[in-house]
Structure 1
């Protein structure tokens, strides 16, 4: 629940449990919630098994597909659909679980929590839907004003439960994330206001995302008799692909052969993989706004493993990055390239990819998924299954999809209903002190959400 550690670093488990071939085979016919329990229980030792099973079951009751994360077979690729939760984005998979987990722990301890998070689009709405109406929780979500899609904005700002506070800052997602990290680093303020994190800096979110990597591996192994496969992951904050990194370390060697890291023109992560250059650039506004990020929040976690689990060295490198805005990691290039391959996808390629898969297969990709599919095309190996993570329903980015295929994607009922609904949001400057004061004012008592 604490999110960041007290020294400002990110939390990780001491060890990553290994899963042998025999155990993996025994999971073959498990449902998604059953598999989630098997994986999560290997990391969680302080919640009774029946309670954990109940939390998981309730978390996935809100999804519209029994498989939770079904695979669609499109041309040469397997599209892992991660958007069948309440806000139609992959963040629901972790945040429905996290909301129920928080509620369980708070009720057990008879305590309260004020969640503070920043979003580049989907995290905010998924987090809000995960905790809306929960008695012991208030949530403060920062998003970059005017830099998220209309649907994303409406999904956040039309939630008017008393425990929900939406804040649009005049700046980028990186500005919002920096404010969150700065506030969390103030240990006294954090303690006084019972602050917790729901962003991908929260380890439990990464853990929940590990499950769908294993689930899709089991599906492919069962149906195609392949023992090795590749994944293509559109990523900006490094959280989704880091979950894949953890899954690969858990599973028998060779099960996950390749993790293809796909970025849009905000290419700090692809530059890291391809050139060993991890340096800030100007945030570019693209058709895939959830990836319009330069400083990737979860990169610190991977850095820890890159430097042989040396926490002191990790801290030194992160201090250097905060000071200079760059890290020269060319000396680690060989290891980085063993862990990932990477591609940066230009804006025109995103639209072409959406258009091609719609014309050829009648399948609509959202722009983030299109980034991943285009990167997958560059690294597809004959005979090796390639799974592309579909991170959002195309209707969440209807204008971009319509530009590519000349027709608006059909709006799910829960999306069309909110487009004309009343919104409530506070617009503020990207100033940590102002945000801190706002939280202090609203964190205690039963005032109405903003």
Structure 2
């Protein structure tokens, strides 16, 4: 399996190098040169497999010979053994043919655990084999940071630097990151928003001279292909649980950076019958405005009750644009350069092709709270604000009620008590037992200005062998 850049100018790489590289040298994102394709008969034969066994079937073609099959199986068994539910990604029914897939049963209570628990193990495996040390630099709008720290904190060959927007994540999200002890863990609160943090990460990957040639950066954000790869699996898991592949499925996906829903798009291309993918966003609705009206235009980023989606520059959208443009890297590069200057559109036939699969909706804070309250009153089931947006978008955009609609439950409601309180409910979602003392733990983080030079100087001074 070889991987190519969405901008067409970087060299093709194998899985190990893509794992460690993150962003391509031409500024693009890596995607597989070709996708594995599974027949309906093969997918049908996977019924009854455990989650880790299914993950091996779906992911091993991407890893190929970088990790021997037996080692990869062991890695997957260990990854999903730490989840708090035996089904790993259980399905909860809300209404007739309407479901939530709970992706928050991992150690940090968010869907990011599915990929980052595996990514930490993959990094440790490859770095030990290469006798190499790397610096992880990542940006988080709330959940990626804690999942990355939890997944990678025991890695012997990494230092971790996570940037989050100062005072723009929930208190639970912040404490999940800043209370983890370890000499190799560094939390940086940037006086800015998530897009500022993400921009610093991308620019640092493009020019790593601040590290003095002594080490290299590795990515934990969804620019890293391994993140996307791991997220494909739960689309197959949900389908098989509800009668697939002999019936089609629809999915509603709360998304800001487009990685989670892009994984669903890939699952369809790999042979899984999916009839609809709903892009569910909040007021930061650049993806909805594009999908509904073919206009890609950045607006001012707004702070909402669903902070993990407070993103205006959706990195993984570039991967979809690459496919929509017939994998023409130069066309993608030119489009994104123009998008940095003002609004852009794509050719009408390309946009209409995307609309065959994708729908979208933008849900404001009031409607988010109304949905949390409505679902609780109907089912005594509590949604976090991101999942509530997914449920509302699913109901607004649903094409066919005979097709199961599955909303991806991306986070545990205990991470967002303010949103639950604002919905008017008196119920307070408790933290799970392993996090019960979270508010008593000591925090460690550094607040820095929204200045890339200062952030890079901090990293250069504080990684292990600096």
TM-score range, shorter chain: over 0.9
Q: Tell me if 1:178 matches 2:199.
A: yes
Q: In the TM superposition, what are the counterparts of 1:60-79 in structure 2 within 5 Å? A: 60-76=80-96, 77-79=98-100
1:203 and 2:225 aligned: yes
- Of residues 345, 352, 357 in structure 2, which corresponds to 1:339? 357
Instruction: Find out whether 1:425 has 2:435 as its counterpart.
Output: no
1:117 to 138, 143, 157: 138
After TM superposition, list the pairs within 5 Å mapping 1:221-300 onto structure 2: 221=243, 227-252=247-272, 255-300=273-318
**1:250-272: CA deviation from partner (whole Å, max 9, x where unpaired):** 025xx100001100011000001
- Residue 403 of structure 1 and its aligned partner are, at CA, apart by 2.3
Mapped partners of 1:102, 1:82: distance in 2: 23
* Aligned-partner Cα distance in 2 for 1:421–1:187: 34
CA contact (8 A) 1:358 1:364 kept: yes
1:329 aligns with 2:346: yes
Do 1:179 and 1:430's aligned partners in 2 also have CA atoms closer than 8 Å?
no
Query: How far apart, CA to CA, are the structure 2 residues paired with 1:280 and 1:218?
Result: 38
- Deviation, 1:6, is 1.4
1:20 aligned to which of 15, 39, 44: 39
Question: How far apart in 2 are the matches of 1:397 and 1:443?
Answer: 32
Alignment of 1:35-46 (within 5 A): 35-45=54-64, 46=66
Q: Normalising by structure 1, report the TM-score.
A: 0.96
- Contact persistence 2:184–2:464 (CA under 8 A): no
Return closer, same or farther for 1:409/1:432 CA change in 2, 3 Å cut-off. Answer: same
The whole-number CA distance in structure 1 between the counterparts of 2:209 and 2:337 is: 21
Q: Please give the per-residue CA displacement for 1:182-231, whole angstroms capped at 9, x wherever unaligned.
A: 11110545654311000011010000000000110111116xx9511100
- Structure 1 equivalent of residue 10 of structure 2: none
State the number of aligned residues: 441
Contact 1:402 1:409 in 2 (8 A): no
Q: Matches of 1:287 and 1:337 in 2, distance apart?
A: 28
Note the alpha carbon deviations across 1:324-367, whole angstroms, 9 max, x for none: 14322252321221131001111111001000010011100000
Report which stretch shifted further, 364-373 or 104-113.
Answer: 104-113
Residue 214 in structure 1 maps to residue 239 in structure 2: no
**3-state DSSP of counterpart to 1:104:** helix
RMSD (CA atoms): 1.4
In structure 2, the gaps of 5 or more residues are: 1-19
Q: Secondary structure at the match of 1:356?
A: helix
Taking the aligned partners of 1:382 and 1:62, their CA distance within structure 2 comes to 35
Measure how far apart 1:311 and its partner are: 1.4
CA spacing shift, 1:330–1:344, aligned 2, 3 Å: farther
Mapping 1:391-402, distance limit 5 Å: 391-402=410-421
Give the structure 1 partner of residue 366 of structure 2.
Answer: 348
Aligned counterpart, 1:303: 321
Structure 1 match to 2:121:
100
Identify which range, 312-321 or 1-10, moves more after superposition: 312-321
Q: CA deviation digits over 1:41-87, x for unaligned, max 9?
A: 11111211001111111111111111110101112311100000000
C-alpha separation in 2, matches of 1:193 and 1:118: 19
Tell me, in whole angstroms, the C-alpha distance in 1 between the residues paired with 2:387 and 2:178: 25
3-state SS of the aligned residue for 1:94? helix
Show CA shifts across 1:12-50 (max 9, x none).
000111110110111111110001011111111121100
**Partner SS, residue 32 of structure 2:** coil
C-alpha distance in 1, partners of 2:367/2:239?
Answer: 28
1:315 is the counterpart of 2:336: no
Are 2:69 and 1:52 aligned?
A: no
Q: What is the aligned partner in structure 2 of residue 359 from structure 1?
A: 377
Q: Which runs of 5+ in 1 are unaligned?
A: none
